[in-house]
Amino acid sequence: MLKKWQLISEEDISPSPYFPLYKHQVKLPNGKTIPDFYISKLGDVATILAITTDYKILLVRQYKHGLGDITIELPAGRIPQGENPLVTAKRELLEETGFMAKKYLELGGVCPIPSKDGSIAYGFIALNLTNTHKQHLDITEDIEVLQLSNTEIDEFIKEGKIIGSDAIATITLARIKHPELFVN
């Protein structure tokens, strides 16, 4: 019978609001105490899988500084404290791609690092798109938009051109829940 650890105390040692970091004292089910287990709380994310009327999927190409390289992923953004993830999804899709969607389907969430961070990436399928042709980017953002078929996405994953775990996991979740939307 698996048991959870017991949290004895939590200390906020965040170096910055952009990297929330906590020191935990925890007690394991076997009675042992760990005085210093560190976890981050980077924050939940909304991830958007937007599908055009000709079944192309929108991806974004941009520099990511953690990896130190240019990635191809799904549009996504951190959810501000207390905001409904769908609101974030709509805003991020527009800001990063210039597209708006009339219809959204909720997919549920995936977790990038369960061992060190409990943040969840909530996935949404976006349908009935309109292209406003206007991105609204932050000062740190520079984003190219790609439209790929379902088959091309598999090629990109196979060739290591798409490596973001959340993007791949969200695509997989969407294919399992809504296979009828992934036809070409």
- Residues at the site binding a second copy, with contacts judged by CB under 8 A: 2-5, 7, 13, 15-16, 18-19, 21, 23-24, 26, 28-30, 32, 34, 36-40, 42, 61-71, 73, 108-118, 120-121, 139-140, 142, 144, 154, 157-158, 160, 163-166, 168-169, 171-173, 176-177
Minimum CB distance to a second copy, residue 102 (Å): 25
CA distance 22 to 117: 10
**CA proximity to 64, closest of 164, 171, 153, 166:** 164
- Of 3 and 133, which CB lies nearer to a second copy in the complex structure? 3
CA distance 3 to 183: 43
Grouping H, G, I as helix, E, B as strand and the rest as coil, residue 89 is helix
Minimum CB distance to a second copy, residue 130 (Å): 25
Categorise residue 68: left if φ over 0, alpha if ψ from -120 to 50, beta otherwise: left
Minimum CB distance to a second copy, residue 165 (Å): 4
Minimum CB distance to a second copy, residue 104 (Å): 18
- Of 37 and 104, which CB lies nearer to a second copy in the complex structure? 37
CA distance 48 to 45: 10
